[in-house]
Chains A and B, each alone.
Chain A
């Protein structure tokens, strides 16, 4: 069949302009918006799920809105939130952890060491 397995070009011909003093900020922003897009796709799917459930008489959006979270559920969630924050901000906290890490500060010295420890 005509068109099977075709891969479309994803880059528009022409120099891509960057706007911030560091183009990596543009790149990051682009990735963040792509993530926001995928998050929105997932949220829309959840929304569809709720609507289908309601239409099929399984449960309704009101059931979700009025669902009472007991202490156990709240604690589980709270723990998950902490894990999430820790994961998202890992680069910030890891940098602080590394401040005391005098032995690993010269990476090339480590490379030299493992490369030459047979000498």
Chain B
């Protein structure tokens, strides 16, 4: 956990908050820190001393799968309390981010309209929101990414921008940019001669991870796509306020409008786990199609379950059923080699853990539910065309 409490960097697209609205958000962040630091560690004690012995008494062996761990842990009072509190913290987080946005929406919409544009914004009102985004509201944001309440709406984007900072407890830096920063740093150390001229970021949301590419490769043309209009409007207003030129457009990553062989670098950050089995194949196929020969595809995610103990897997899997992340479990258990080779990739598959570029906080170096960004490493999956 961070010793010093750094606040998110202000930018023109964030809402003004009153004293109490801000205090409410600070409480949520502290609540989440407390859950990670003080309640989460007790889960292992509860498992070793209570739940596992219960399982062993019945089966004469240790639990071997996350499902078996679940049969006893879900009955454990410490797990129940942790889950109930974590779910509540998630609901309070969204609510605390919603309150100032609801109050100031007209001025947020006005701001987004009036920010002198940098780069561009192209919306497609006819684009269908994929079923995997309308079935449930992903990670419990009421209304999901896509809901629009008013003309030129930015509400969902403005809420998401602030909530990510609270969710990660500041561990992704003052601009929520750690995934982009870390990937750029990894790229520059592994491929020092690689200077992309054209870059595509898929599922960019509000552009937290997009902007590091724009600032690190100032001569490159940076494109960013998303299916959700409120995300893109906020992303464009934010990037414009920060004077970084990015071409945002509303497109589905499964089938974009870009020509074959047009990008040197195609990236995504925590997009894949929010799609579906069919969509992920389409997306990897689309990456292959739009990449130039020699171009690089990189997808940043949390690491696959492979190699984790059944207990660790059970906890890391919490989001699947408890935080509206229906594709989380499957997406962490995919045959990533086959996924890439079926899409046409022939070079060695990249599956690496890249260190976080943001080293101001103490790192757990493990992935645990409720501690997003706390691991200090990101999993990069990709391939060169």
Q: Mark A1-41, 1 if CB is under 8 A from B, else 0.
A: 11110111111111011111000011001100110111011
The verdict on A6 contacting B23 (CB below 8 Å), with A1-B110, A26-B84 known, is: no
Shortest C-beta distance, B64 to chain A (Å), equals 24
The verdict on A34 contacting B92 (CB below 8 Å), with A6-B102, A8-B101, A9-B147 known, is: yes
Which residue of A8, A16, A20 is within 8 Å of B102 (Cβ)? A8
Q: Which residues of B contact A41 (CB under 8 A)?
A: 20, 23-24, 27
Cα separation A17 to B84 with both chains bound (whole Å): 9
Shortest C-beta distance, B103 to chain A (Å), equals 10
Cα separation A1 to B30 with both chains bound (whole Å): 36
Q: Mark B69-81, 1 if CB is under 8 A from A, else 0.
A: 0000010000111
A48 within 8 A of B: yes
User: In the complex, are the beta carbons of B150 and A3 less than 8 A apart?
Assistant: yes
Cα separation A3 to B153 with both chains bound (whole Å): 7
Cα separation A34 to B102 with both chains bound (whole Å): 19
User: In the complex, are the beta carbons of B142 and A33 less than 8 A apart?
Assistant: no
Number of A-B contacts (CB under 8 A): 118
Q: Which residues of A contact B79 (CB under 8 A)?
A: 19
User: In the complex, are the beta carbons of A12 and B141 less than 8 A apart?
Assistant: yes
User: In the complex, are the beta carbons of A12 and B89 less than 8 A apart?
Assistant: no
Shortest C-beta distance, A93 to chain B (Å), equals 27
Q: Which residues of B contact A26 (CB under 8 A)?
A: 84, 87-88
User: In the complex, are the beta carbons of B136 and A6 less than 8 A apart?
Assistant: no
Q: Which residues of B contact A14 (CB under 8 A)?
A: 135-137, 140, 324
B31 within 8 A of A: yes
User: In the complex, are the beta carbons of A20 and B84 less than 8 A apart?
Assistant: yes
The size bracket of the interface on B is: 35 or more
Interface of B is mostly: helix
Shortest C-beta distance, A50 to chain B (Å), equals 14
Q: Mark A74-116, 1 if CB is under 8 A from B, else 0.
A: 0000000000000000000000000000000000000000000
Q: Which residues of A contact B194 (CB under 8 A)?
A: none
Which residue of B83, B106, B142 is within 8 Å of A1 (Cβ)? B106
Q: Which residues of B contact A34 (CB under 8 A)?
A: 92
User: In the complex, are the beta carbons of B109 and A8 less than 8 A apart?
Assistant: no
The verdict on A8 contacting B155 (CB below 8 Å), with A37-B92, A45-B19 known, is: yes
The verdict on A6 contacting B105 (CB below 8 Å), with A12-B324, A30-B88 known, is: yes
Q: Which residues of B contact A30 (CB under 8 A)?
A: 84, 88, 91
CB-CB nearest in chain B for A40? B27
Q: Which residues of B contact A38 (CB under 8 A)?
A: 24
Shortest C-beta distance, B102 to chain A (Å), equals 5
CB-CB nearest in chain B for A18? B84
Which residue of A10, A33, A40, A48 is within 8 Å of B88 (Cβ)? A33
User: In the complex, are the beta carbons of B80 and A4 less than 8 A apart?
Assistant: no
56-74 of chain B: CB within 8 A of chain A:
74
Cα separation A75 to B274 with both chains bound (whole Å): 60
Q: Which residues of A contact B84 (CB under 8 A)?
A: 18-20, 25-26, 29-30
B321 within 8 A of A: yes
B258 within 8 A of A: no
B95 within 8 A of A: yes
User: In the complex, are the beta carbons of B98 and A33 less than 8 A apart?
Assistant: no
Cα separation A20 to B79 with both chains bound (whole Å): 10
The verdict on A29 contacting B108 (CB below 8 Å), with A2-B152, A12-B324 known, is: no
Q: List 7 A-B pairs, minimum CB-CB distance, nearest first.
A: A14-B136, A3-B105, A44-B23, A12-B137, A1-B106, A12-B140, A19-B80
Q: Mark B151-188, 1 if CB is under 8 A from A, else 0.
A: 11101000100000000000000000000000000000
Contacts A/B (CB < 8 Å), 9 sampled: A2-B105, A2-B150, A8-B102, A8-B142, A8-B149, A9-B143, A12-B136, A19-B79, A29-B88
Q: Which residues of B contact A36 (CB under 8 A)?
A: 27
The verdict on A45 contacting B20 (CB below 8 Å), with A8-B98, A17-B322 known, is: yes
Q: Beyond A12-B142, A19-B79: 8 further Cβ-contacts under 8 Å? A: A1-B106, A3-B105, A3-B109, A19-B84, A29-B88, A30-B91, A33-B89, A40-B30
